């Protein structure tokens, strides 16, 4: 029957007495589809309530939603044969609000997809179900997964991680089905969770975020990642790698042409540390300045990352002309290497390395601490998120370190590993993912050490640099514009720093240094970059510890 809404009131037997809060989803659904299930009512004696004739036993939220929609009447059914039994009515209300089994997510995905296939727009289907439009588009995408994937997902109440679903949904059906078969092939025990990571691995397709593009976005088609946060850098991506790389190269070529010689471009590189300066040039210690002075001879070298996680990213380094070869004691140099007096009577400082070896050793110690912190933070985080590929990548890279061998000669380290992983009776200790990652971070933090100029042994070489980049160690480095670090810099280098950062270079070295202390927030004399090529000789067991110290690698 249809009842006037003004004749209805929440019944005392209704278990839902507290304000239900936001009714937005229910209002949206009732606006689109009307009332799907009538409310349950019973008559109220006129003496008890002169203005109302019906008490709502079940359906208080539907009544409030109807009121907010401005409905004048609502469909209802009368609770039969229990009018005088308040306890029974209370039980009906409780059952109506609690015993409904939630819909399996796969059923919901399929239902959304079917609505769209039958003519509903995504927005119309979302309104009918009281869903956010973007969320409904995501569910529709999942509803179009390959049938074999949906069937396997339907077997479990707990869904795989969102990043697995995102990767699988982006691949063609035949690739998804191939991934399912591949995962079935490695699942040899019934009590193991289904290896969705292997399905995702088979479906992996390289994508580049639109945020990396240096060219107008309309030149390329972009796919919206419905799993990414709205307005994030990852929301729009493309798998058209070749087209993106060509447009990116064209864009930085135009930047170079417009820079009047200030920018030069090199070929695409696998990572930033593989960049090579042109002949006659070398990398500068300084960051790229926001603006150059007219007489500044330095340039910016740019390249596009060609592979890996950062594919398509434009990287840049500051380069400067190499110094002319020093004389042999004739001309304007004295035999002991000190420059002759200048025209104004001042004596130029004797040329020496920009940063002393003891200070470089301090910088290496700072990097070691940043590396340990990065390992301690990122490895457990990856374990919690299920990012085992990143964790295993770091672990395998550690085996590439010069100072690491699978057969370790460090009994204390071996003992710590054994105590943490193995019980006294030789069985494996039950430990969780985070605890396991903590152990890995602790071990690698002790084993890995960055190169420094005061030692040739027990250094990890480029592996520590690469691992440092993976665990965001550069972001954990402190500021270097301290008196302690700047005291280890030559006068010429301090004056160069002053020039490039718009500070006066006049006066004695200590005066220049005082101007720079605490005023170079972007100065990075040490970072994790591995600026060299790794050649076969680096890992030759006959000479790795006897030749080619870090000074030769700089």
| Model confidence pLDDT, tens digit, residues 468-501 | 887 888 888 888 899 989 988 988 899 999 988 9
| Domain identity same for 287 and 384 | no
Domain that holds residue 546: 357-477+524-553
Residue 463 lies in a domain: yes
Residue 453 lies in a domain: yes
| Domain identity same for 411 and 365 | yes
Q: Assess contact for 111 and 45: CB atoms under 8 A.
A: no
| Domain identity same for 268 and 414 | no
Instruction: Report the alpha-carbon distance of residue 43 to residue 54 in Å, rounded.
Output: 5
pLDDT tens readout for residues 220-266: 988 887 777 777 777 888 888 889 999 999 999 999 999 888 999 98
| Pairing of the two strands 223-224 and 236-238 | antiparallel
| Domain identity same for 536 and 392 | yes
Where does a domain end: 77, 98, 119? 98
| Domain identity same for 412 and 461 | yes
| Domain identity same for 401 and 468 | yes
Instruction: Report the alpha-carbon distance of residue 80 to residue 128 in Å, rounded.
Output: 31
pLDDT tens readout for residues 300-327: 999 998 877 678 889 898 999 987 655 4
Question: What's the longest Cα–Cα distance across the chain?
Answer: 121
pLDDT tens readout for residues 377-423: 888 888 777 777 677 777 766 766 666 654 444 445 556 666 666 66
348 token code pair: 């130029």
Instruction: Map residue 13 onto helix, strand or coil.
Output: coil
The pLDDT of residue 502 is above 50: yes
| Domain identity same for 314 and 408 | no
């Amino acid at each position: 029957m249809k009842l006037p809404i003004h004749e209805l009131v929440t019944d005392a037997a209704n278990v839902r007495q507290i304000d239900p809060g936001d009714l937005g989803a229910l209002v949206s659904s009732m606006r689109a589809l009307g009332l799907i299930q009538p409310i349950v009512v019973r008559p109220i004696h006129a003496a008890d309530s002169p203005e109302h004739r019906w008490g709502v036993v079940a359906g208080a939220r539907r009544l409030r939603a109807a009121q907010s929609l401005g409905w004048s009447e609502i469909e209802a059914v009368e609770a039969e044969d229990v009018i005088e039994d308040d306890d029974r009515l209370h039980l009906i209300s409780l059952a109506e609000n609690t015993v409904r089994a939630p819909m399996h997510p796969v059923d919901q995905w399929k239902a959304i997809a079917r609505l769209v296939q039958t003519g509903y727009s995504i927005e119309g289907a979302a309104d009918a179900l009281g869903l956010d439009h973007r969320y409904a588009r995501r569910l529709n995408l999942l509803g179009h997964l390959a049938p074999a994937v949906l069937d396997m997902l339907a077997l479990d109440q707990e869904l795989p991680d969102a990043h697995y679903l995102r990767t699988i949904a982006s691949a063609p059906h035949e690739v998804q089905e191939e991934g399912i078969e591949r995962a079935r092939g490695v699942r040899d025990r019934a009590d193991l969770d289904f290896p969705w990571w292997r399905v995702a691995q088979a479906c992996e397709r390289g994508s580049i975020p639109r945020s990396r593009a240096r060219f107008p976005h309309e030149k390329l088609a972009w796919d919206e990642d419905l799993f990414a946060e709205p307005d994030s850098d990852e929301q729009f991506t493309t798998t058209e790698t070749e087209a993106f790389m060509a447009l990116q190269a064209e864009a930085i070529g135009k930047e170079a042409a417009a820079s009047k010689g200030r920018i030069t471009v090199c070929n695409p590189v696998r990572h930033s540390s593989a960049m090579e300066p042109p002949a006659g040039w070398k990398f500068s210690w300084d960051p790229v300045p926001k603006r150059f002075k007219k007489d500044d001879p330095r340039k910016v070298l740019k390249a596009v990352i060609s592979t890996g996680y950062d594919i398509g990213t434009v990287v840049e380094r500051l380069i400067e002309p190499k110094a002319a070869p020093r004389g042999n004691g004739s001309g304007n140099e004295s035999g002991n290497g000190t420059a002759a007096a200048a025209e104004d009577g001042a004596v130029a400082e004797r040329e020496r390395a920009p940063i002393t070896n003891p200070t470089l050793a301090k910088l290496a110690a700072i990097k070691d601490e940043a590396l340990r912190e990065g390992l301690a933070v990122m490895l457990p985080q990856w374990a919690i998120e299920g990012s085992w590929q990143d964790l295993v990548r770091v672990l395998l890279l550690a085996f590439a370190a010069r100072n690491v061998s699978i057969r370790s000669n460090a009994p204390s380290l071996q003992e710590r590993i054994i105590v943490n992983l193995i019980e006294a009776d030789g069985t494996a200790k039950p430990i969780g993912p985070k605890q396991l990652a903590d152990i890995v971070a602790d071990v690698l933090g002790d084993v890995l050490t960055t190169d420094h100029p005061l030692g040739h042994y027990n250094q990890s070489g480029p592996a520590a640099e690469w691992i440092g980049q993976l665990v965001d160690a550069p972001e954990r480095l402190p500021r270097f514009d301290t008196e302690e670090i700047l005291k280890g810099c030559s006068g010429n280098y301090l004056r160069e720093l002053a020039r490039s950062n718009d500070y006066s270079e006049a006066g004695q070295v200590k005066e220049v240094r005082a101007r720079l202390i605490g005023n170079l927030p972007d100065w990075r004399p040490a970072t994790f970059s591995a600026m060299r090529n790794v050649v076969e000789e680096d890992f030759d067991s006959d000479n790795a510890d006897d030749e080619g110290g870090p000074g030769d690698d700089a």
